[in-house]
């Protein structure tokens, strides 16, 4: 089945360069009308210009597509609301939101100014929240929406000197998990993309001989799948240099320690049992963990829990 976006309207943030540009062009090439959103700032978030977004719009129009440029700062709710209203006035709906905008202000935590930590969170995390909130009721009313957040291996696995960036990027996973539950009844599917590509964000972090393999365009097929009509939901999809993988979060079955033995020494002594992956599971809601622990405690105490008493 060919994936198309005819009649769909997409907003792509950070779409003036790199990954966002590739995503915007990819969506437009398959029929989507695209809001090319880009503040036009430098890599550290300073400055601003609409030129980058306008250039991508020109590329889309040259290929026969429809697009408009917008230079909203994603962390400013009023500017984002104006962007959304402009799209609604022009096209009457918003089906897809790609939260891609980001900045870097890398330093080890001991050397990092707290203002730089907050600014990175503001753009990546708060900006994603602001943009998603701005389109949420539209998508609920339509009973259709596709939202993608952008995470990073720096957040999932860690990277020295990127505590601000890593914290913001890992937060996308928690945001996805909750909004998947909140949007499910209205056919709003929420996913996370974890890309690794040669962009101005990574050009001095990746060995030069690898950069040629890591094109932004090699990531976009994963993005297009995640925002398609038959997209999954609650998926962390990783992509880079033509490779595609999925990150999954599991929890071990763990153990129950009786009250009279519940000491840090016992936890240390039985840490291998606690870590045993043989019965690990993917949990799909916070209270699955709560119920697991409560039920184990009840079994140990010989208590029969009624279903309505469970959290």
Length reported for the chain: 311
Number of domains in the chain: 2
46 part of a folded domain = yes
User: Whole domain around residue 13: which residue ranges?
Assistant: 9-246
Angstrom distance (rounded) from CA 169 to CA 99: 11
Examine the domain organization and report whether 239 and 263 are in the same domain.
Answer: no
On the question of pLDDT at 46 being above 90, the answer is no
154 part of a folded domain = yes
Examine the domain organization and report whether 227 and 269 are in the same domain.
Answer: no
Residues 301/258, Cβ–Cβ less than 8 Å? no
Report the percent of the chain where pLDDT is more than 70.
Answer: 92
253 part of a folded domain = no
173 part of a folded domain = yes
75 part of a folded domain = yes
Examine the domain organization and report whether 282 and 154 are in the same domain.
Answer: no
Please list the helix, strand and coil fractions of the chain in percent, rounded to the nearest 5, in that order: 45, 15, 40
Higher pLDDT, 297 or 48: 297
On the question of pLDDT at 192 being above 60, the answer is yes
Examine the domain organization and report whether 291 and 212 are in the same domain.
Answer: no
Examine the domain organization and report whether 212 and 287 are in the same domain.
Answer: no
Biggest CA-to-CA distance, the chain: 73
The CATH number of the domain holding residue 163 is: 3.40.50.720
Quickly list H helices, the chain. Answer: 18-29, 51-62, 77-91, 114-121, 127-142, 153-156, 163-183, 208-211, 220-226, 264-269, 271-275, 286-301
252 part of a folded domain = no
Task: For 155-183, write each residue's pLDDT tens digit.
Answer: 999 999 999 999 999 999 999 999 999 99
4 part of a folded domain = no
Examine the domain organization and report whether 278 and 133 are in the same domain.
Answer: no
Examine the domain organization and report whether 129 and 276 are in the same domain.
Answer: no
Task: For 93-134, write each residue's pLDDT tens digit.
Answer: 999 999 999 999 999 999 999 999 999 999 999 999 999 999
Annotated active-site positions, please?
165
Please report the pLDDT score of residue 305 as a whole number: 84
Please report the pLDDT score of residue 208 as a whole number: 73
Examine the domain organization and report whether 215 and 81 are in the same domain.
Answer: yes
Residue 193, phi-psi category: left (phi > 0), alpha (psi -120 to 50), beta (remainder):
beta
Angstrom distance (rounded) from CA 210 to CA 227: 28
131 part of a folded domain = yes
Task: For 65-87, write each residue's pLDDT tens digit.
Answer: 999 999 999 999 999 999 999 99
Examine the domain organization and report whether 61 and 110 are in the same domain.
Answer: yes
Please report the pLDDT score of residue 47 as a whole number: 58
Examine the domain organization and report whether 128 and 239 are in the same domain.
Answer: yes
The phi and psi torsions of 74 (rounded to 5 degrees) equal: -65, -20
Examine the domain organization and report whether 97 and 150 are in the same domain.
Answer: yes
Mean pLDDT value across residues 224-240: 97
Higher pLDDT, 41 or 216: 216
Please report the pLDDT score of residue 40 as a whole number: 84
Residues 41/103, Cβ–Cβ less than 8 Å? yes
Examine the domain organization and report whether 91 and 227 are in the same domain.
Answer: yes
Residue 57 banded pLDDT, cuts 50, 70, 90: very high
């Amino acid at each position: 089945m060919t994936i198309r976006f005819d009649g769909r309207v997409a907003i792509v943030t950070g779409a003036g360069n790199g990954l966002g540009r590739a995503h915007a062009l990819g969506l437009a090439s398959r029929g989507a009308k695209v809001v090319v959103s880009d503040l036009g700032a430098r890599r550290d978030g300073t400055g601003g210009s609409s030129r980058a977004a306008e250039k991508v719009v020109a590329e889309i129009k040259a290929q026969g597509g429809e697009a408009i440029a917008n230079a909203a700062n994603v962390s400013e709710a009023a500017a984002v609301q104006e962007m959304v209203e402009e799209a609604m006035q022009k096209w009457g709906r918003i089906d897809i939101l790609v939260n891609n905008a980001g900045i870097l202000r890398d330093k080890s935590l001991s050397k990092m100014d707290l203002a730089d930590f907050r600014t990175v969170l503001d753009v990546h995390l708060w900006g994603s929240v602001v943009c998603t909130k701005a389109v949420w009721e539209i998508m609920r009313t339509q009973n259709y929406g596709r939202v993608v957040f952008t995470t990073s291996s720096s957040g999932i696995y860690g990277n020295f000197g990127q505590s601000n960036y890593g914290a913001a990027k890992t937060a996308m996973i928690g945001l996805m998990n909750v909004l998947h539950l909140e949007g499910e009844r209205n056919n709003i599917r929420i996913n996370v993309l974890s890309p690794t590509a040669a962009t101005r964000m990574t050009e001095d972090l990746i060995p030069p001989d690898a950069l040629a393999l890591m094109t932004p365009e090699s990531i976009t097929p994963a993005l297009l799948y995640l925002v398609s009509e038959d997209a999954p939901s609650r998926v962390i999809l990783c992509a880079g240099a033509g490779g595609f993988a999925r990150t999954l979060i599991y929890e071990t079955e763990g153990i129950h320690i009786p009250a009279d033995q519940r000491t840090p020494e016992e936890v240390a002594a039985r840490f291998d049992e606690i870590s045993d992956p043989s019965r690990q599971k993917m949990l799909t809601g916070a209270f699955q963990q709560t119920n697991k622990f409560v039920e184990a405690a009840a079994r140990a105490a010989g208590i029969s829990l009624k279903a309505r008493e469970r959290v």
